[in-house]
Structure 1
């Protein structure tokens, strides 16, 4: 994976970590995310892989429900934060340093794959999706969250200003570093010019996934109050779920 991506997330690790740690500590928000992923995965007690785990928020949410979690990230600073967060919450998660485009796991090893706000940052999303397919057991499910960060029609000047105010009220230090925005070193990413989630669906189909479903505006059910104003009022946060079919 491009080193500029790792450098970007290494730089963002402190402010992003504080954002997700706060989210995990808010019971209503944590339980809303857990319900969302439970509905998407359909089953409990699965061996799951979290790709692009960042500070570990999704892995922690799912480990808290009893899932067996393995997590991987390209940023060593994000991984260090994730290890600390898991330990602070007494959650057992198997963390690995690795590239989402070349996952360090065997074929058909996991009973589910999850990912959270990661695919937009990778240089070659089709490779990542192909890797998801490879490590997933047949009949099992992928559930990932992302957003349309560039061309969403909700990104009016007024809403962006109100959102920035919400970021400041929720986390003043994060306000000065931005939210999930496209920084200068990421301008060449595929997601800048993509039609999302339409392009995601095409890549998922090409990789071999079936039963592909999209749930739009999930932020309306998981974020509340100031945090919804800050992080959920200007973009469509969507979840895509799909199944790796059994071979005939």
Structure 2
């Protein structure tokens, strides 16, 4: 990598870190981020059990854990959970949530693309809505492969948030038009701050590896190149989406139903 490319990526990664640090304040207020019903919690439990089974004390590293939504779900299932994030404001909220709920979840500040964790130290690695932000996913997947124990599992929960269907595009534009004439895109923020976050998100998305959309097939190919095997793609997330829709507007439900969202499960031999 030449010096100019390194500098560009370094700056981009700093922008990503700063962006998620700012998002921490309102992250748990948004449906689709935090869990808002027991039906949704049960749906997530079912999805995780389908691919991982019960935790039985196995060690899991939840990367880019944010405010620890997925970490708590894994803790529910009996995993020994370490949550890692490099946005300190996210970790502050994650630690507070764990204290309030009496959970023994370990939290570390760290970079999902360079964890600094020992070789073969975890039975499972999980992440949600992380892959689309990666600057160098192949190097990152090799790092995850290194940290997993032989026989360990990787679970990626993500989606293509770029290539939308016609219905999704129309729904998104209608929602944006309504928001611009009623309230801020995030009601807890002022218009200027909310619009600034939207523009920052677009700028970041235009420069990451998956700027054209994180399609499951491409992610699968990169996982295979990184050494993973037994890679499966599961798009059967209807139970989760059905539970979430009670807290979505009509337009948001339309958008969500047509998006390419998936779970990828991979193994380390």
For Structure 1 versus Structure 2, the TM-score category normalised by the shorter chain is 0.7 to 0.9
C-alpha deviation, 1:37, in angstroms: 0.9
Deviation of 1:144 after TM superposition, in Å, equals 1.2
Deviation at 1:225, TM superposition (A): 2.3
Q: Which has the higher mean CA deviation after the structures are superposed, 39-48 or 52-61?
A: 39-48
Query: CA-to-partner distance for each residue in 1:89-128, whole Å, 9 max, x for gaps?
Result: 2211110001111112111111111101111112111122
**1:44: how far off?**
2.3
The 1:73–1:108 alpha-carbon spacing in structure 2 relative to 1, beyond 3 Å, is same
Structure 2 counterpart of 1:157: 169
1:24 and 2:35 correspond: yes
1:241 matched to 2:252? no
Q: Provide the TM-score with structure 2 as the length reference.
A: 0.80
Q: Deviation per CA, 1:25-74: give whole Å up to 9, x if none.
A: 41111111111111111342211110110111000111122210001111
**Residues 92, 24 of structure 1: alpha-carbon distance in 2 compared, 3 angstrom cutoff:** farther
Distance across 2 between alignment mates of 1:100 and 1:202: 20
1:61 has 2:73 as partner: yes
1:149 offset after TM fit, Å?
A: 0.6
Deviation at 1:159, TM superposition (A): 2.3
Q: Specify whether residues 211 and 154 from structure 1 end up closer, same or farther in structure 2 by C-alpha distance, changes over 3 A only.
A: farther
C-alpha separation between the residues in 2 aligned to 1:143 and 1:27?
Answer: 22
Q: Is the 8 A contact 2:153 2:268 kept in 1?
A: yes
Aligned to 1:90: 102
1:226 — aligned with what?
247
TM-score, structure 1 normalization: 0.86
Structure 2: stretches of 5+ with no match in the other structure: 1-9
RMSD of aligned Cα (Å): 2.9
Distance 1:121 1:174, change over 3 A: farther
